[in-house]
Amino acid sequence: MTVGICSVAYGDTYHRFLPEWSQAVAALETKPTRITIIHDGVSQEIKDIVNDNIPVMWLEDRGTTYTFHPQVLINTAITFTKCDWIVKLDADDLILPHALNGLRDVTADVWNFGYRRNGNDVVSRSVSVDQVLQRSSNPVSSCSPFRRWLWESNQFLDMPHCDWMFWVHAARAGAQFSSTKRVDYIYRVHAEQITNRIDTSAAAARIRSL
């Protein structure tokens, strides 16, 4: 089993999270095979700190055009991360040491992670294909590991709630979902998050229409 961790660090706001992010990745008890970060010009000072913690493949974006959000550049990071499993770990999230433990025994195609937000634990729950396809809400957390073949047939789209849309496409492609039934990462809330600048109701309505 090989596991790749991929992330997008775009703008100074997200660059500043990378030292602590890399410390969390370094503390994983089950080590990833490859770690890939695509960025728009992280300083050498931050790179040095990160490189002292973990081995990283750094990919610098050369002005990719996007409509909604640079998070869509995760596709480029995954392109260079040829592993069985992919974890799309946002630069502002902190993975917990046990998060990848047990992944080797997972037979499903998506392993739903639980998370901690503002000190509150959201333990991951079992997810059925029907629940994902109903699209009443997104039952799968954004950092959940998925098999790379899902991405090969369906890349992330440049749109609000791209994670949610990715899970819907995965379900349509025949993916099976399972759950860790625990908390696996810390979702950090801050003012610069894109969800603070969009109409989330309208974005959800769009997902349900696709």
Encoded amino acid at 173, one letter: A
Quick one: pLDDT at residue 197?
A: 62
What is the sign of the dihedral through the CA atoms of 34, 35, 39 and 44?
negative
Question: Rounded to 5 degrees, what are φ and ψ at 164?
Answer: -60, -45
Cβ proximity of 160 and 68 under 8 Å:
yes
Token duo for residue 127: 């997810």
pLDDT tens for residues 104-117?
A: 999 999 999 999 99
Do residues 56 and 50 make contact, with C-beta atoms less than 8 angstroms apart?
A: yes
| Residue 169 identity (one-letter amino acid) | H
Alpha-carbon span 18 to 38, nearest angstrom: 12
pLDDT at 163: 94
Q: What is the per-residue pLDDT across 57-69, written as a single tens digit (0 to 9) for each?
A: 999 998 887 777 7
CATH class given for the domain over 3-94+106-209: alpha beta
Instruction: Give per-residue pLDDT as tens, 11-26.
Output: 888 999 999 999 999 9
Instruction: Report the pLDDT averaged over residues 35-44.
Output: 97
- In DSSP terms, 85 is beta-bridged to 3, 147
Segment holding 23, helix H or strand E:
helix 18-26
User: Hey, where are the domains in the chain?
Assistant: 3-94+106-209
Taking all residues of the chain, what is their mean pLDDT, rounded to a whole number? 93
